[in-house]
Amino acid sequence: MAPSIAPTLLCVRNQTRGTVLCPRAMLARSFRDSTRGLLGRPQLSPDEGMLIEAAPFLPLMWMHTFFMAYPIDIVFLGQDNMVMKIQASLEPWRLSAIVFGARKAIELAAGAALEAKTAEGDFISLKTI
């Protein structure tokens, strides 16, 4: 029997504001997970999300919501985990902004970034739970 590979979960905190942005973000651990993102998954609850890391050879990131049935927030982070851009409530079948220098993106339930009072320039911590 093949071993079960449990997903890596992270608590995403806004260090600048002292708030929790996402208590249970799943880490996309493979290229396949990163390219799939939330596609085909049920709508996120307010405490769920997904962290996607940029390919090492790309100096930018962007996301899309093609084939999704619900809007999401996307928080783009730089190398130092500083918030570079927030794409709030990105509707299905849309492209996000292209964010040069972004190294990570956190996909969240729509409204989660506002609820946690997260803004560009804030610093985010990622802790394995």
pLDDT of residue 108: 97
pTM for this prediction = 0.89
Total domain count for the chain? 1
pLDDT category, 40, cuts 50, 70, 90? low
Phi, psi angle pair for 33, to nearest 5°: -60, -40
Q: Tokens at residue 60, please?
A: 């930018």
Residue 75 sits in a domain of what CATH number? 2.60.120.1140
CB atoms within 10 A of CB 69: 11
- The parent domain of residue 28 ranges over 9-128
- Residue 48 is assigned to a structural domain of this protein: yes
pLDDT of residue 32: 62
- Residue 4 is assigned to a structural domain of this protein: no
Quick: pLDDT tens for 25-36.
999 876 566 566
What is the distance, to the nearest Å, from the Cα of residue 11 to the centroid of all Cα atoms in its chain?
Answer: 12
Quick: pLDDT tens for 90-128.
999 999 999 999 999 999 999 999 999 999 999 999 999
- Residue 3 is assigned to a structural domain of this protein: no
